[in-house]
Amino acid sequence: MCGIVGYTGHRPAGPIILEGLRRLEYRGYDSAGIALFNGPEEFYVAHATGKLDALVQRVEGSLPPAIAGIGHTRWATHGEPSDRNAHPQLDPDGRVAVVHNGIIENYEELRRRYGRGPFRSDTDTEVIAHILAGDLEAGMDLLEAMRHVASEAQGAYSLVAIASDDPGRLVAARVGNAGGIVVGVGEGEHLLASDLNALLPHTRNVTFLEPGEFADVRADTIAYVDIEGHPIAKTVEVLPYDPVAAVKGPYKHFMLKEIFEQPDSALDAIRGRYLTRPARVEFEDLAFLDEALAKSLTRVVLVGMGTSMHAAMVGRFYIERFARIPAEVDNSAEFRYRRPVLDEHTLVVSVTQSGETVDTLAAMDEARRAGCPQITLCNTPGAQTTRVADGTILLRVGPEIAVASTKTMIASMLLLHGLALRLGRLRGTLDPEEEAAQVEAALHLPAAIGEMLKSAPLIEEIASRYASNEDFLYLGRGLGDPIALEGALKMKEVSYIHAEGYAAGEMKHGPIALIDERMPTLAIAPRDEVFDKMRSNIEQVLARHGKVIALVSQGDHSLDDIVEDIITMPEVTPYLEPMVTVVPLQLLSYYIATERGADVDQPRNLAKTVTVE
Ligand code: AGP
């Protein structure tokens, strides 16, 4: 959730850290701060409430030419967003500065045991600076002190600390699953960050801290140790990302850029995986999933949160349809607490763009304890889910910066389709003709998404007429059901309009009571085998004076005269419709949000990666 950046090297650290924070601001944006070495035994420290710009303004003209330091963007857990609760947090003597992501569960007890004076903040972080300062005074060095902290502080978190009497040294710790730490390996300089994006302008050579690992970083050296202080050997990985991908370009917002990137995202996701002659799907990192394992599976459980869970709901359909395995979807946060029945014949598939969502990691831990084989669909190379799972399907759509997920959802749904085809082939449940038709259809999908995007001007016009509404209803059936849920989620996230998504058949069991002229309904109504039922649902809304925006198949004019607005989708094979129908819903939310002046890329209260339970 919070963003962490650290730098030590030969260049001025302040601008590098601020730029890194800018690239991480989507993680948390209620306050920010920076601490730099500033001459012997002294820090330069600045904090500011609000977005990063407030910090940039505050430090303008006053940044010292330090060559090392740390910075932070915060997503509040303990203590309101304010200057005094912003990170870095310091001990009372200003000897140690620390930034933190995650939660220290026993911080109150630690405060009683280790407090070295009055606490100035309400955070669970400040006590860490107190403990480190006490340990340094007792003769420990910073790395030893950090290991001591990790043995005392309960919870899942990551920390980076600096000490004023050890200039140029950064010590990082990762404890548990909350939020990773990536080390950027440069020449005569090194960086630390909670997220790859902060490192992209400087290096693509990285290492990832695993839970229970520590990094001791100076300009010329990096040492990795475990909690006992034993050295750990780590291999430097080279990132595939194109740094340009994290730039907004001509678009007003990252969300719009990422929506319009979706034809390319779909192509990037399937390139080299959906193959012809013979038609089949293959994945590069799924060697463990062989015929014997695929045939031994009795069940698939898909887990995820938010948009990723909606993608998983679409995936469930594919797995049952093409691989003929009973499949279910679980909200990751609920999964482990209901003590699910699992065994080695249950394939657990986690869907997560970040690969760091703590609820999903907890669900994967539960599955690991039960001996389930696991696959993760993830957009972040090296993320924690890729380390826990037996196999990874990388989404390969480049960094998604807007907090509201768009292109990663399309890639997740599409690659779950690919996984289902792969499983179907291995299990022998997939008719070769069907396989060929699905592969062929997927190869045409990027063009269909591009066609759908041509409706953007129409959707912008529709949005201008609905922007003052305070409620929205989304209805869908079959594969349209999860898309209705996603449409409602997007609307809530970026425009702050109350929105509900329902399987259309459910409407008459309660939600219909909400319908009146102020409650518009977006109906996903493609010409499929349940179209007539959907039409009846639309009639029921109209009979109660509700306005309807209908998303219909190309050439279908049967609703033209009865609904308020029609959006036509291009022709696409029914199974792949979700990847097309979600696009106008994303655009509608985006345009309504901009019409209302909302902060589209960084909606209030949200964070891109949710690393607290
Ligand atoms: C999507 O727009 C949301 N920001 C949110 O629901 C998100 O999908 C959820 O937090 C899961 O994140 P993940 O894909 O990184 O696991």
Contacts of 573 (CB under 8 A, 6+ apart): 437, 438, 441
State the residue range of the domain holding 220. Answer: 3-250
Interval between CA 399 and ligand 1 midpoint (Å): 14
Q: Nearest to residue 483, comparing CAs of 303, 312, 260?
A: 312
pLDDT at 338: 83
Distances (CA, A) of 267 to 407, 445, 477: 11, 8, 27
Which residue's CA is the nearest one to ligand 1's atom 6?
306
CA–CA distance, 380 with 405 (Å, rounded to integer): 14
Residue position matching structure tokens 């192509």: 267
The whole-number average pLDDT for the span 458-486 is 96
Q: What average pLDDT does range 44-72 have in this prediction?
A: 94
Pocket probe for ligand 1: among 303, 353, 356, the residue whose CB has the most ligand atoms within 8 Å is: 353
On whether both 412 and 462 belong to a single domain, the answer is no
Q: How far is the CA of 62 from the centre of ligand 1 (A)?
A: 38
DSSP 495-556: H--EEEEEEGGGGGGTGGGG-STT--EEEEE-SSTTHHHHHHHHHHHHTTT--EEEEEETT-
Nearest alpha carbon to residue 204 among 154, 161, 240, 166: 240
Instruction: Please confirm, yes or no, whether 2 is among the known catalytic residues.
Output: yes
- 26 lies in the same domain as 97: yes
**Rounded CA separation 493/305 (Å):** 14
d(CA 511, CA 493): 21
In a shared domain, residues 532 and 459: yes
Q: Tell me how far CA of residue 413 lies from CA of 306, 373, 407, in angstroms.
A: 14, 20, 10
Is residue 608 in a domain?
Answer: no
Ligand 1 atom with least separation from CA of 609: 15
User: Is the pLDDT at 277 greater than 90, yes or no?
Assistant: no
Please tell me whether residues 446 and 404 are part of one structural domain. yes
Residue 383: pLDDT band with limits 50, 70, 90 = confident
Residue 600 belongs to a domain: no
Phi, psi of 474 (to 5 degrees): -120, 130
The pLDDT value recorded for residue 241 is 62
CA separation for the pair 472, 514 (Å, rounded): 10
Are 431 and 458 in the same domain?
no
Q: How far is the CA of 438 from the centre of ligand 1 (A)?
A: 28
Are residue 434 and residue 462 in the same domain, yes or no?
no
Q: Which of 230-244, 383-397, 445-459, 541-555 has the lowest mean pLDDT?
A: 230-244
Average pLDDT over all residues of the chain: 93
pLDDT of residue 243: 53
216 plus 94 within the same structural domain: yes
Strand partners, 45: 35
What separation in angstroms does the CA of 608 have from each of 275, 298, 390, 402, 506? 33, 34, 25, 8, 31
pLDDT digits (tens, 9 = 90+) for 62-104: 999 999 999 999 888 888 889 999 999 999 999 999 999 988 9
**Rounded CA gap, 252 and 393, in Å?**
31
Question: Which CATH number fits the domain that encloses residue 581?
Answer: 3.40.50.10490
The span from the CA of 432 to the CA of 429, in Å, is 9
Percent of the chain with pLDDT over 90: 80
Query: Residue 568: inside a domain, yes or no?
Result: yes
> How many domains does the structure of the chain reveal?
3
Two structure tokens written together for 292? 């014997």
Q: Helix (H, G, I), strand (E, B), or coil: what is residue 600?
A: coil
Q: Are residues 464 and 433 part of one domain?
A: no
Instruction: Answer for the pair 194, 181: CB distance below 8 angstroms, yes or no.
Output: yes
Nearest-atom number in ligand 1 for the CA of 405 is 2
Question: Do 458 and 382 share a structural domain?
Answer: no
Last residue of a domain, one of 451, 474, 492: 451
Question: How many H helices and E strands in the chain?
Answer: 18, 26
Give the mutation target among 308, 491, 608 for probing the ligand 1 site: most ligand atoms within 8 A of CB: 308
CA of 305 to the centre of ligand 1 (A): 6
Residue 608 bears catalytic tag = yes
Centre of ligand 1 from the C-alpha of residue 25, in Å: 16
Domain match, 371 and 473 both: no
Residue 76 lies in a domain: yes
Q: Domain ends where: 426, 451, 476? A: 451
* 3-class DSSP assignment, residue 454: coil
Q: Is the pLDDT of residue 51 over 70?
A: yes
- Amino acid identity, position 98: V
Percentage of the residues of the chain whose pLDDT score is greater than 70: 97
CB 433, CB 297: distance < 8 Å: no
Residue nearest to atom 14 of ligand 1 (CA): 352
Residue located nearest, by CA, to atom 5 of ligand 1: 306
In the structure encoding, which two tokens stand for residue 546, read together? Answer: 């509700």
Q: Which atom of ligand 1 is nearest to the CA of 332?
A: 16
What pLDDT score does 462 carry? Answer: 97
Q: How far is it, in rounded angstroms, from Cα 547 to Cα 533? A: 18
SS3 per-residue string spanning 305-321: CHHHHHHHHHHHHHHHH
Is residue 246 over pLDDT 70? no
Place of tokens 């001007």: 457
In a domain, 206, yes or no: yes
Please tell me whether residues 435 and 460 are part of one structural domain.
no
Task: Judge whether 364 and 350 are in contact, CB under 8 Å.
Answer: yes
DSSP secondary structure letter of residue 231 = B
SS3 content of the chain, % helix, strand, coil (to 5): 40, 20, 40
Buried b or exposed e, range 427-464, using 16+ CB within 10 angstroms: bebbeeebbbebbebbbebbebbbbbbebbeebbebbe
List the strands of the sheet with 498-503, edge to edge: 498-503, 471-476, 521-525, 548-553, 565-569
Distance (Å, rounded) from C-alpha 111 to C-alpha 120? 12
Name residues contacting ligand 1 (CB within 6 A). Answer: 305-308, 352-354, 357, 360, 403-405, 493, 609-610
Examine the fold and report which residue of 394, 429, 451 is the final residue of a domain before the chain moves on. Answer: 451
Q: Could you tell me the distance, in angstroms and rounded to a whole number, from the CA of residue 403 to the centre of ligand 1? A: 8
The answer as to whether 609 is a domain residue is no
Tokens encoding 148 = 């001591």
Instruction: Give the type of residue at 276.
Output: T
Given a cut of 60, whether residue 244 has pLDDT beyond it is no
Q: In this structure, is residue 601 part of a structural domain? A: no
For 437-462, the pLDDT digits (tens) are 999 999 999 999 999 999 999 999 99
- Pocket residue to mutate for ligand 1, from 27, 253, 303, 305, most atoms within 8 A of Cβ: 305
Between the CA of 609 and the centroid of ligand 1 the distance, in Å, is 7
Q: CB atoms < 10 A from the CB of 543, how many? A: 10
DSSP state of 121: S
In this structure, is residue 13 part of a structural domain? Answer: yes
Tokens at 238, concatenated? 């080279």
Q: Which of 2, 257, 372, 547 is catalytic?
A: 2
Residues 458 and 416 in one domain: no
Cα 142 from Cα 468, distance rounded (Å):
55
CATH of the domain at 143: 3.60.20.10
Pocket test for ligand 1, best of 610, 611, 613 (most atoms within 8 A of CB): 610
Give the model confidence (pLDDT) of 115-141 as tens digits. Answer: 998 999 999 999 999 999 999 999 999
